[in-house]
Amino acid sequence: MSKALVVFSGGQDSTTCLIQALTQYDEVHAITFDYGQRHDEEIERAKALAKQFNIASHKVMDVTLLNELAISALTRDSIPVSHTLMDNGLPNTFVPGRNILFLTLAGIYAYQLGADSVITGVCETDFSGYPDCRNDFVKAMESALVQGMDRKLDIVTPLMWLNKAETWALADKYDSLDVVRNQTLTCYNGIIGDGCGDCPACDLRSKGLHDYLENKQKVMHSLDEKNRAKNIN
């Protein structure tokens, strides 16, 4: 029996990954991390969607210790989300160490579940500039986990080389465009669906949706080509 664990936030990307995983694995579990993020609605969304998709299990893990260490607009209500990059070239929504911690804990939990795959919706094609969303980082984490636990583990990144329009196309391919559009939470201000329309996350999401809806056939073809190339390699 094939088992997968999805790192699940209830946002567009991780929900699309969860939907795809349900067609590819015999048993799908999810883990959501409560790190004292800017809005609690993210966790409630993840709970509701996990129940809706009737997955094997959904674990919500308290990792609020990250909040004590990582100062960011996503961990401090007093810091407004900015469209301007910080002096280090990163957005002020970057939470240092977040994916290092998340993938480490997900790997440990996958070990307990007997799952060989951890799925995460990170992407370095259309993304917010976070260094812990890059392919080199993910491969390094995968190697560390395999060596540290002496057990086979694949960190699967279905969206790594997709742009946001292609991510929307992927949801549509699984007849879930409306669910992802209306029931997920990507907005940094905690508004479900199309969001506030102003924060960087909403900008990226809405631009991708517009590009997909305006060029459905072209974007779907591009998605199919990328998936075909990935399967060949």
**123 assigned to a ligand binding site:** no
**125 assigned to a ligand binding site:** no
Across 88-110, b (16+ Cβ under 10 Å) vs e yields eeebbbbbbebbebbbebbbebb
**222 assigned to a ligand binding site:** no
**12 assigned to a ligand binding site:** yes
**213 assigned to a ligand binding site:** no
CB 156 within 8 A of CB 4: yes
**16 assigned to a ligand binding site:** yes
3-state SS assignment for residue 28:
strand
Instruction: Quote the CA–CA distance of 86 and 200 in Å, as a whole number.
Output: 14
**72 assigned to a ligand binding site:** no
**9 assigned to a ligand binding site:** yes
Q: Which secondary structure element, helix H or strand E, spans residue 47, and what is its range? A: helix 41-52
**217 assigned to a ligand binding site:** no
**176 assigned to a ligand binding site:** no
**133 assigned to a ligand binding site:** no
Instruction: Quote the CA–CA distance of 108 and 91 in Å, as a whole number.
Output: 29
Q: How many CB atoms neighbour CB 221 within 10 A?
A: 12
Ramachandran bin of 89, using left for φ above 0, alpha for ψ from -120 to 50, beta for the remaining angles: left
**53 assigned to a ligand binding site:** no
**157 assigned to a ligand binding site:** no
Instruction: Quote the CA–CA distance of 77 and 68 in Å, as a whole number.
Output: 13
Q: From the annotation, which residues make up the binding site for ATP? A: 8-18
Q: From the annotation, which residues make up the binding site? A: 8-18, 187, 196, 199, 202
Q: From the annotation, which residues make up the binding site for Zn(2+)? A: 187, 196, 199, 202
